[in-house]
Amino acid sequence: MSENSNTKRQTNQGGMGPMGRGGWGAMGRAVEKPKDFQGTLKRLLLYFFPERIRLSIVLGAAILGTVFNIVGPKVLGLATTKLFNDLVARYLVEVSNQSIRNKLAQSPALSQQLSPIPGIDFGYIGRVILILLVLYVISAVFIFIQQYLMAGVAQRTIYKLRREVDEKLSRLPLKYFDGRTHGEILSRAVNDMDNISSTLQQSVTQLITSAVSLLGVLVMMLTISWELSLIVLVTLPLSLFIVTGIAKRSQDYFRRQQRALGDLNGHVEEMYTGHKIVKAFGHEGKAVAQFDELNDKLYDAGWKAQYVSGIIMPLMRFVGNVGYVFVAVVGGIMVTQGSLSLGDVQAFIQYSAQFTMPITQLANIANVIQSAMASAERIFELLDEEEQVPEVAESELVQTAGHIQFQHVKFGYSPDKILMEDLNIEAKPGQMVAIVGPTGAGKTTLVNLLMRFYEVDSGKILIDGVNITRLKRGDLRCMFGMVLQDTWLFHGTIRDNIAYGRDNASEEEIVRAADAAYADHFIRTLPEGYNMVLNEEATNISQGQKQLLTIARAFLSDPAVLILDEATSSVDTRTELLIQKAMSKLMKGRTSFVIAHRLSTIRDADLILVMNHGSIIETGTHAGLLAQNGFYADLYNSQFRGRVLKEEEGVLVDLVADHQQV
Amino acid sequence: MIKLLRFLNPYRSLLVLVLVLAIGQTAANLYLPNLMSDIVNNGIAKFDTNYIWRTGRIMVLVAIGGTLCAVVGIYYSSQVATGMVKAIRARIFNKVQGFSLHEFDTVSTASLITRTTNDTTQVQQVMVMILNMLITAPITLVVGIILALNQDVGLSWILVVMMPVLVAIIIVLLIKAIPLFTAMQAKLDKLNLILDENLTGVRVVRAFNREKHEEQRFDEANRDVTDIAIRVNQMIASMMPVMMLMINLSSVAIIWFGSLRVDAGKLQMGAMFAFLQYATQILFALLMVALMFIMIPRAEASATRINEVLEMEPEIRDPEEPRQATQQRGYVEFQDVTFSYLGAEQPALSNISFSASPGKVTAIIGGTGSGKSTLVNLIPRFYDVDSGKILVDGVETREMSQEQLRAKIGFVPQKAVLFTGSVNDNLRYGKEDASEDELRHAAEVAQANEFITKMPEGFDSMISQGGTNVSGGQMQRLSIARALVRKPEIYVFDDTFSALDFKTDAKLRAALKGETRESTVLIVAQRVSTVIDADQIIVLEQGRVAGIGTHRELMKTCDVYSGIVSSQLSATEIAEETA
């Protein structure tokens, strides 16, 4: 019976098939703890509020299902006791009859005293069995109801939580996304969510059933015999010691294993991504030697972790078995003394076996729930992030001629790193502004400010004389078109990608836009033309083609202001020509901000913004800036005037060519 | 999975030990009910308290024995399982170190990393589970059946009925559940993809006011996932109660029919109890075996991916008897070389012939996809040519050992790669015994000295993994210095200079001249200004040589070249340059 309980425990957790997480090994693994358990729990419970009726049914069903199951052995005991007692009675009658028969020869009169052999009361046993059947079926039904309903409760709750996270993400300022890796955000939205989901699905009901079992079993044991109960309770500290003491050591090993695995993975990643260099410098042997060392460490921590966590179960089983033996012995003696029935001993043995199970289970669940709370905490953290500045209800401007002014704009991504102190620029409708200088913060900052992805620290940006904060973000962004190097294409058809800029664009308009961008021709040569699906990284068309598509998109959305990146070196010469042509066509009649690489563009610009390390350090026209003989002049001379070296100190001309790299 | 089991070979004797211990453990666990039955039959029924005590002592001994078997068994099985996977991991890594870029291209670096790390971990988890826990299940099944039959053959029909029923239920549930699981995974992937797209494209989504649209898309996917997850979990909901019910039904049946047999005098009461316990253990063991069959396929996908790597033969291998190339120093010659990537329709390079000699700079220029990088990647024999020959120092590269060939080359890749370790470690990468002075000198030439000395610990500063604590340009300069420390016969700069600003670029190339007097230099470049001074410029277009010559020659003879030049310089500057 004791074995029975152990295997039952395994199936409970591991039997969920491909869903089963942790299962056997969950205990003893390293667990992450939430900072504020109570607060997180309370907040998570709020999400269950709409499901409270179903959840109460789940609770009720869990309690009833467990109770009915617990009563089983006791009822079964009635049958075996009856059987045993009837057998003993028969045995006694047979013994006395035998002795009578032995004396029968001397005095035949004694035959009168021969008792009829009593039968076994199968009517009674049958009734008990029937009751038992009903109990088991009811219990199974309740457990089913509980699990079945919980599926909906848990998944709907997760649905809600997931939707909230997604909606929150769309309200967060760009600052949030720029300050974190995608992996970090995804890990919250995906891994943490999964963790909560499976905990809700499995562990919450398990928590209830285990607690009820523990209590119920204890009660049942006490009703049978307090002496035997005492024996079982004596083993309790031993179980607790195993569950907590060994589990703690095992957690240490798991942490060590995790670290070793991290080191090894890091090495593998480094050697594989740097494979070319490893080979070029003949370092294969050293890479292997280092790998072997890390692999040894991982093995050492790994097998110990498996060993220590692996022996928890057999040790628990041992404690269970020792209790079993003592119950069997003491119970057996009590039966011979007549103070206990055999069925009760039988039932008690079953109960004592079920007693250790919920203890381990509860210890396990405690870990699982803690880690779920840590996950929930991280998700709530995300939900509590500061949102972007609320927008005005009605825009003061919907159409624009494209007149843009920066007035005393001060901006920096962090207060201690101000990029622009007092920026004043003006672009009149139809003018071209060239941005010259290194990449990175430069052009992104401009886009960030113009599109109001970031708020300025002070000063204002005006569009047709209206502060952009007086515009709804949506209306403001409609005024801009962007054709940047990190071409933003989505997994979807080419048509969808072009039409991304405008809802309800007609087929004709899409084709016209593609045609204007010189993209129509190449699109038609693609396997499915406009219906071709771009794969996830859009690697099934070339970089230049991607740019043509974004130009087509801009044509379709017909913005008043453009932000453009000039064509790059990663484009073949012919496509580059097309891109240039398409861009100049697009720029006609629109105010444009151009991240410029080509000298002709820069020279033709109405205004040049010279950027370095993300801040605008000089502004003016080509001639004006040359006359200043500052940074721009230096840049111009080194970049476009061949290879004249100017050894001035302190001026570190940063990589114009970086544009071409990124 | 089965193929991977050969890695268990070194552990054969340990495995036998683990198996024996598992049998001991199972036997002990199964023997306990037997002893219990004895207590009932001979002790309780006959009021023999001494017998009960005696048997009780034996039971404790059996329990201790069983636990010892289990603990020792797990001690060894943990070592076997993790040891086996350690060996697999080491074999993969070794194998991959021997791969040429060709294999890296076919499998992809990311996938190779996953196979070495995640897939092996997956296999380890399953192996541990099988060896530590599930190994007793089949033994319990067999021994339990034998013992049950030993107690009473008359009741065994219950097992004969229950076992197939249980197996049938499991199979039916699995057949229904597995496609649902697969579908759920697909829906989850889709949801995560949308999320990922929204994160990557957060600017474009907002720029085009598509927040609402994207929210809807996410919501739809979210709904899909929820619906199917509910269905999956509802399905699972029926699994446990049904299993438990089946097992409870069998115990009830055993009590009822057992009682009848006891009444008929064909069975002893204690034997019935023992049978009951065996029956539950057998049915649970059956569940475990079923589980094993669920676990193994989960590792199967990983095992297949691992086997793929292990069975791959590197395309490039050293010749049996490598030739030494000691006659000349720093000569590179391409003779009518044609090369195509695997599965490509057109060759990446066709009929390339040229030669480069010491003290001379050969520059290679051309548009994206024209084959510049491919060309220089052929020199260290990262790939083998389809036809034609590449000679280094007069010997064909395929006739040399890869080690000897690469020792002649200082390679600076397009994307600078640094390794975890100090700046010094990284610079010494190509020459272990380089002196401090050599390192400093190389850093100076590569224009890296200035920023290195500004780093907190100078040349001892640590470079973090992937070089995230230095800028792109700095990484590139370190990568150049690393090649310089080697003092190679042949320098290959694969589009190295475009990561540098013009000043540094020019300074560096000026300083480089002093270093490369006796070496041949090959530079892949995008910028005309970088190639303008080269002794010979090779212009590539679509894998073919469009022209070879100096800047001046090419301006007159090569349209492709003059096209590139005009796209980068304005007419006046072209005039200035050519003047």
The more confident residue out of A601 and B235 is: B235
**Given pLDDT bands bounded at 50, 70 and 90, which one contains residue B499?**
low
Check residue A610 and give its pLDDT: 84
Percent of chain A with pLDDT over 90: 14
Neighbours of A502 (CB within 10 A): 17
**Given pLDDT bands bounded at 50, 70 and 90, which one contains residue A647?**
very low
pLDDT exceeds cutoff 70 at A644:
no
Handedness of CA A4, B124, B110, B484 (dihedral sign): positive
Q: Does A108 touch chain B (CB under 8 A)?
A: no
The residue ranges of every structural domain in chain B are 1-136+297-313, 153-266, 328-408+489-504+516-579, 417-487
**Which residue from B229, B238, B419 is facing A274, i.e. has the nearest CB?**
B419
User: Which among B262, B267, B368 is the top mutation candidate for probing chain A, defined by the most A β-carbons within 10 Å of its own β-carbon?
Assistant: B368
ipTM: 0.83
Asked if B32 lies within 8 A of A324 by C-beta distance, the reply is: yes
Check residue A653 and give its pLDDT: 33
Residues of chain B positioned with their CB less than 8 A from the CB of A80: 255, 269, 273
pLDDT exceeds cutoff 90 at B379:
yes
A97-101, B43-47, B279-283, range with the lowest pLDDT? B43-47
- Residue A347 to chain B, least CA–CA distance (Å): 11
Asked if A642 lies within 8 A of B573 by C-beta distance, the reply is: yes
Chain B residue at shortest CA distance from A477:
B207
Coil, strand, or helix at residue A116?
A: coil
pLDDT exceeds cutoff 90 at B337:
yes
User: Which among B25, B30, B104, B117 is the top mutation candidate for probing chain A, defined by the most A β-carbons within 10 Å of its own β-carbon?
Assistant: B117
Which of A241-250, A392-401, B184-193, B333-342 has the highest average model confidence (pLDDT)? Answer: B333-342
Coil, strand, or helix at residue B559?
A: helix
- Residue B306 to chain A, least CA–CA distance (Å): 15
- Residue B116 to chain A, least CA–CA distance (Å): 8
Cα radius of gyration (chain A): 39
The residue among A64, A355, A63 whose CA lies nearest residue A222 is A355
**Which residue from B78, B96, B191 is facing A307, i.e. has the nearest CB?**
B78
pLDDT exceeds cutoff 70 at A295:
yes
**Given pLDDT bands bounded at 50, 70 and 90, which one contains residue B183?**
confident
Chain A residue at shortest CA distance from B497:
A657
A5-34 in b/e burial notation, b at 16+ Cβ within 10 A? bbbbbbbbbbbbbbbbbbbbbbbbbbbeeb
The strand pair at A404-414 and A561-565 is best described as: unpaired
**Which residue from B133, B177, B407 is facing A282, i.e. has the nearest CB?**
B407
- Residues B403-410 have a mean pLDDT of 90
**Given pLDDT bands bounded at 50, 70 and 90, which one contains residue A27?**
low
Q: Does A281 touch chain B (CB under 8 A)?
A: yes
- Residues A32-36 have a mean pLDDT of 80
> Nearest-5° angle of CA A165, CA A169, CA A172?
135
Check residue A288 and give its pLDDT: 93
Helices (H), A439-486: 441-450, 473-478
Chain A residue at shortest CA distance from B466:
A270
pLDDT exceeds cutoff 50 at A20:
no
pLDDT exceeds cutoff 80 at B521:
yes
List Cα–Cα distances, A508 to A514, A558, A581, in angstroms: 10, 15, 22
- Residue A32 to chain B, least CA–CA distance (Å): 21
**Given pLDDT bands bounded at 50, 70 and 90, which one contains residue B385?**
very high
Residues of chain A positioned with their CB less than 8 A from the CB of B45: 88, 91
- Residue B573 to chain A, least CA–CA distance (Å): 7
Neighbours of A384 (CB within 10 A): 10
Residues of chain A positioned with their CB less than 8 A from the CB of B174: 17
Phi-psi region of A437 (alpha: psi -120 to 50; beta: other; left: phi over 0): left
The residue among B251, B272, B56, B252 whose CA lies nearest residue A331 is B56
Check residue B567 and give its pLDDT: 66
Coil, strand, or helix at residue A203?
A: helix
- Residues B410-424 have a mean pLDDT of 86
Check residue B329 and give its pLDDT: 85
Asked if A325 lies within 8 A of B245 by C-beta distance, the reply is: no
- Residue A105 to chain B, least CA–CA distance (Å): 28
Check residue B20 and give its pLDDT: 93
CATH number of B417-487: 3.40.50.300
The more confident residue out of A179 and A69 is: A69
Domains of chain A, start order: 37-212 (1.20.1560.10)
Give the tokens for residue A35: 């900072």
pLDDT exceeds cutoff 80 at B164:
yes
The residue among A241, A247, A377, A398 whose CA lies nearest residue A308 is A247
Asked if B237 lies within 8 A of A79 by C-beta distance, the reply is: no
Q: Does A162 touch chain B (CB under 8 A)?
A: yes
**Which residue from B209, B256, B498 is facing A660, i.e. has the nearest CB?**
B498
**Given pLDDT bands bounded at 50, 70 and 90, which one contains residue A570?**
low
Residues of chain B positioned with their CB less than 8 A from the CB of A479: none
Residues of chain A positioned with their CB less than 8 A from the CB of B81: 303, 306
Give the tokens for residue B38: 């004895």
pLDDT exceeds cutoff 70 at A278:
yes
Check residue B520 and give its pLDDT: 92
Residues of chain B positioned with their CB less than 8 A from the CB of A478: 209
**Which residue from B82, B218, B288 is facing A306, i.e. has the nearest CB?**
B82
The residue among B408, B406, B398 whose CA lies nearest residue B321 is B398
Q: Does A284 touch chain B (CB under 8 A)?
A: yes
Domain spanning B328-408+489-504+516-579, CATH architecture? 3-Layer(aba) Sandwich (3.40)
**Is residue B262 within 8 Å of B272, Cβ to Cβ?**
yes
Which of A104-113, A150-159, B39-48 has the highest average model confidence (pLDDT)? Answer: A150-159
CA–CA separation, B330 vs B382, rounded Å? 18
Q: Does A658 touch chain B (CB under 8 A)?
A: yes
Tell me which residue has tokens 């409708």: A429
**Which residue from B97, B215, B567 is facing A170, i.e. has the nearest CB?**
B215
**Which residue from B196, B210, B240 is facing A15, i.e. has the nearest CB?**
B240
Q: Does A123 touch chain B (CB under 8 A)?
A: no
User: Which among A261, A308, A661 is the top mutation candidate for probing chain B, defined by the most B β-carbons within 10 Å of its own β-carbon?
Assistant: A661
Chain B residue at shortest CA distance from A652:
B503
pLDDT exceeds cutoff 70 at A614:
no
Q: Identify the helix (H) or strand (E) that includes residue B106.
A: helix B101-107
Neighbours of A76 (CB within 10 A): 24
- Residues A508-514 have a mean pLDDT of 90
Asked if B417 lies within 8 A of A88 by C-beta distance, the reply is: no
**Is residue A423 within 8 Å of A406, Cβ to Cβ?**
yes
Q: What is the pLDDT of residues B86-110, one digit of tens each?
A: 999 999 999 999 888 888 888 888 8
Check residue A447 and give its pLDDT: 80
Check residue B125 and give its pLDDT: 85
Asked if A276 lies within 8 A of B89 by C-beta distance, the reply is: no
- A-B CB pairs within 8 A amount to 464
3-state secondary structure B351-400: EEEEEECCCCEEEEEECCCCCHHHHHHHCCCCCCCCEEEEEECCEEHHHC
pLDDT exceeds cutoff 90 at A299:
yes
Q: Does A73 touch chain B (CB under 8 A)?
A: no
CA–CA separation, A527 vs B183, rounded Å? 29
**Which residue from A167, A299, A639 is facing B215, i.e. has the nearest CB?**
A167
Percent of chain A with pLDDT over 70: 87
- Residues A39-60 have a mean pLDDT of 91
Q: Does A56 touch chain B (CB under 8 A)?
A: no
Give the tokens for residue A43: 């907040």
pLDDT exceeds cutoff 60 at B409:
yes
**Is residue A347 within 8 Å of B58, Cβ to Cβ?**
no
B42-74 in b/e burial notation, b at 16+ Cβ within 10 A? bbbbeebeebbebbbeebbebbeebbbbbbbbb
Asked if B230 lies within 8 A of A536 by C-beta distance, the reply is: no
Domain spanning B1-136+297-313, CATH architecture? Up-down Bundle (1.20)
pLDDT exceeds cutoff 60 at A568:
no
Give the tokens for residue A420: 């622009």
Asked if A151 lies within 8 A of B277 by C-beta distance, the reply is: no
- Residues B234-259 have a mean pLDDT of 86
- Residues B189-215 have a mean pLDDT of 82
Q: What is the pLDDT of residues A534-544, one digit of tens each?
A: 876 666 777 77
- Residues A400-419 have a mean pLDDT of 85
Check residue A4 and give its pLDDT: 36
- Do B1-136+297-313 and B328-408+489-504+516-579 show the same overall fold? no
Asked if B222 lies within 8 A of A87 by C-beta distance, the reply is: no
Q: Bridge partners of B463?
A: B421
pLDDT exceeds cutoff 90 at A296:
yes
| Chain-centroid distance, C-alpha B136 | 32
Q: State chain B's mean pLDDT as an integer.
A: 85
Residues of chain B positioned with their CB less than 8 A from the CB of A274: 417, 419
Residues of chain B positioned with their CB less than 8 A from the CB of A315: 67, 71
Q: Taking a contact as any Cβ pair under 8 Å apart, which residues of chain A between 382 and 421 contact chain B? A: none
Residues of chain B positioned with their CB less than 8 A from the CB of A88: 45
CA–CA separation, A38 vs B71, rounded Å? 38
Check residue B391 and give its pLDDT: 92
Check residue A580 and give its pLDDT: 81
Check residue A16 and give its pLDDT: 31
**Given pLDDT bands bounded at 50, 70 and 90, which one contains residue B474?**
confident
Check residue B501 and give its pLDDT: 67
Asked if B262 lies within 8 A of A12 by C-beta distance, the reply is: no
- Residue B424 to chain A, least CA–CA distance (Å): 15
- Residues A331-344 have a mean pLDDT of 84
Residues of chain B positioned with their CB less than 8 A from the CB of A600: 570
Asked if B234 lies within 8 A of A11 by C-beta distance, the reply is: no
Q: Write out the DSSP string of A480-529.
A: EEEE-SS----SEEHHHHHHTTSTT--HHHHHHHHHHTT-HHHHHHSTTG
